[in-house]
Amino acid sequence: MSKRPSLLLAALLTAGAVSAQDLSMQGGALRVSGNGERSFAVGVNYVQPYGDYLALSLGYLNEGHPDNHHRDGVSGQVWLRTPVNERGMSWGVGVGQYYFFDTSRPRGGGEAYVNDHGWAPIYSVQATWHHPSNWYTQVQLNRVVPSGAKDPTTSLLVGVGYRFDTVRGDKLHLDGGKSTDDTLTVLAGQSIVNSLESERSRAGTIEYRRAIGRYVDWTVSGLREGTSAGTHRSGVATQLWLIRSLNREVELGMGVGPYLAFELHDVPGTRSHQAGLVSVAGRYHFNKRIVGTLSLNRVVTDYHRDADLLLVGLGYNY
């Protein structure tokens, strides 16, 4: 996997100690160029401004379910925006790269489905109305242009966002300057196979997390993805996380790392396999000891058995 999103996220998370940050959620419609198909679209965006006119963003885009395609992915973009300090309307244009995960049925038969991964340029235009509070309403138009035989898409999204002002950003202030954050967390939830049928089963994990820097965590996790018609898999993963605090209680982060998977009953003659794990998580510090976690994890494979793990849990910080 390319280092491009990691470098952008590093720039986002290590920005000035005191600055505003935007977090927004959007929903709307998508149109596929070429065949004119329509579907839904959902987006989540984290934005770090740089001065009055520039910003960097990290986003997630789900491009719905057009015929024979279930595609979503993460994007990093550079934005040129009109000033947003004053209440009222602001405008922005963004350009960047989109790393997608696409589930489709291959032409000519063979496999029931395939999981494709790849890069595509993404271009965006947005209009934002800033309310008297820190809330804002936003309309955003996205254009994704993958190479090869895949059709470009256009999505129109409407949503709401919140601006977090005067945020320190690093996590060391959460507990009065203590530089470590050793946490043992138990999470449970659902596993969804990235097939055209989206088979589901129960999943769970035990995670050990340690802060190794102001903006960097390291985790080791034992995962069990459950048993479904699509896959039967468990294993051990380790990840490096880039994190950012929105306030004294809430942290957001993205983790990437290898995943050694076992019990591959759906792959004849194979008992283990090296895959990748990409995660996005939010953590809420109820107090100095108890931490709640909500995480979305994507298991990335090279044998067409990608899966999503949606997990929630509680941890103990010691």
Residue 174, helix vs strand vs coil = helix
> Which is it for the CA torsion 171, 173, 178, 182, positive or negative?
negative
Q: What angle do CA 23, 24, 28 make, to 5 degrees?
A: 165
Would you say how long the chain is, in residues? 318
- Cα(181)–Cα(85) distance, integer angstroms: 35
Structure tokens at 10: 């590093």
Q: What is the pLDDT along the chain (318 residues), one digit of tens a residue?
A: 444 545 555 555 555 444 678 899 999 999 999 788 999 999 999 998 888 899 999 999 999 988 888 899 999 999 999 987 666 899 999 999 999 999 988 776 556 788 999 999 999 999 999 998 889 999 999 999 998 768 899 999 999 999 887 666 777 666 555 545 799 999 999 999 898 888 899 999 999 999 998 889 999 999 999 877 657 889 999 999 988 888 888 899 999 999 998 876 666 656 678 899 999 999 999 988 999 999 999 999 988 889 999 999 999 998
- Cα(45)–Cα(25) distance, integer angstroms: 7
